[in-house]
Amino acid sequence: MVYISVTEHDPYYNLATEQYIFDEMPTSQSYFMLWQNANTIVVGKYQNTAEEIDGAYTAEHKINVVRRLSGGGAVYHDLGNLNFTFISDQGADGFDFRSFTQPIIRTLAKLNIEAEFNSRNDLTIAGKKFSGNAQYFKHKRVMHHGTLLFDSDLDVLQSALKSKPGATPDEYASKSRKSVRSRVANITEYLSHPMSLAQFQSCLLEEVASEERLVPYFFNEHDLARISEIADNRYRTWEWNYGHSPAYNVKKTRVFNGGALQLLIDVKDGQINSLRIYGDFFGNGDITLLEQVLNGVQLHESAISAALSGIPVGDLINGLTSEELVAFLLS
């Protein structure tokens, strides 16, 4: 098995690396990869990004958002989280999550931690999820990847993803795959003695190597150029991360200083297909001006801000600023 150690923390580059290994490296080999992302939400291939993330929170805290090739739910990554990837011809007969997670379970067992594989393809300790797993199939080849919460900031994890207790619920209607929120925990909570993430990574590598010989591989200039190209053409693009979301409609309701405001939004290909504005607010002028200027606009901060440039939002909806409307649309 070829072992590839990735030192980049750029999520767009790292997901491009997975795709490059899967699509362009020799299929005569199987591959194992360990990697980390800086603060990032990774959504599943079939998910509606806007429905899964708190857009205002992620923008304020500069959290990256990227869509992966595999299905499943949204997950949060930071440098307290370790990701693992297996790529091989195994699994050609169907989804097989359990076999790829066994090295994790055995590694933790040697650290006196009992981990279990559950019916949602997650790994848990004492009923709390610490590892989410997903798979991508193509040409009888499988890519299995998973997260390992070692010492992540669980407060940020809960805030960046939607479905938070006490939040005003937006009502979405779409055919997207919804994430199932679970109780989560870090591995460090169950360690009997202190251990760094680097030490844990070494233990995991040792366990994988005990089952199959690992041969290190280092990317050459061609590899690096192709990975960068894939990252730029897919994973860094708004079209992939947001525009790829299924069509949906949503009803958003918030209370501002000027009164209650309700938006009914129909979205297709990541753009506002139609918008209707209701509420008990006061305003001067025709609110349809605001509705019309936003039709056809990408649900992206810069695109919405540009469309609202020169529009007297505070007059049309008394007490509301353009910045507040942008944040509301993206929340």
Same domain? For 175 and 276 the reply is no
The enclosing domain of 71 has a CATH number of: 3.30.930.10
Same domain, 62 and 153: yes
Distances (CA, A) of 257 to 91, 99, 265, 276, 320: 56, 55, 22, 20, 8
Nearest to 285 by CA among 324, 318, 315: 315
Structural domains in the chain (count)? 2
**Longest Cα–Cα distance in the chain:** 72
The last residue of a domain, from among 194, 223, 243: 243
Please tell me whether residues 63 and 118 are part of one structural domain.
yes
CA distances to 39, 168, 222, 231, 303 from 36, rounded to whole Å, are 10, 32, 23, 16, 31
Q: Are 235 and 215 members of one domain?
A: yes
Q: Are residues 231 and 270 in the same domain?
A: no
Name the CA dihedral angle for 242, 244, 248, 251, rounded to a multiple of 10 degrees: 0
Q: Which token pair is 43?
A: 């959504």
pTM: 0.77
Domain edge (last residue) among 243, 272, 306:
243
- 71 and 157 both lie in a single domain: yes
Do residues 212 and 255 share a domain? no
- My answer on whether 238 and 260 are in the same domain is no
How many Å apart are CA 145 and CA 23, to the nearest integer?
Answer: 15
User: Cα angle at 288 between 286 and 290, to 5 degrees?
Assistant: 95
Q: What is the pLDDT along the chain (331 residues), one digit of tens a residue?
A: 999 999 999 999 999 999 999 999 999 999 999 999 999 999 998 888 888 888 888 988 999 999 999 988 899 999 999 999 999 986 545 567 888 999 999 999 999 999 999 877 899 999 999 999 999 988 889 999 999 999 999 999 988 886 543 344 566 555 444 454 568 999 999 999 999 999 999 999 999 999 999 999 999 999 999 999 999 999 999 889 987 877 888 888 888 876 788 888 888 888 898 888 888 777 777 888 888 999 999 888 889 999 999 888 888 888 789 998 988 888 7
| Domain end marker among 222, 243, 264 | 243
CATH number at residue 275: 3.30.390.50
Owning domain of residue 172: 2-243
Residue 177 and residue 289 in one domain: no
226 and 144 part of one domain: yes
**Do 213 and 112 belong together in one domain?**
yes
Q: Is 168 in the same domain as 265?
A: no
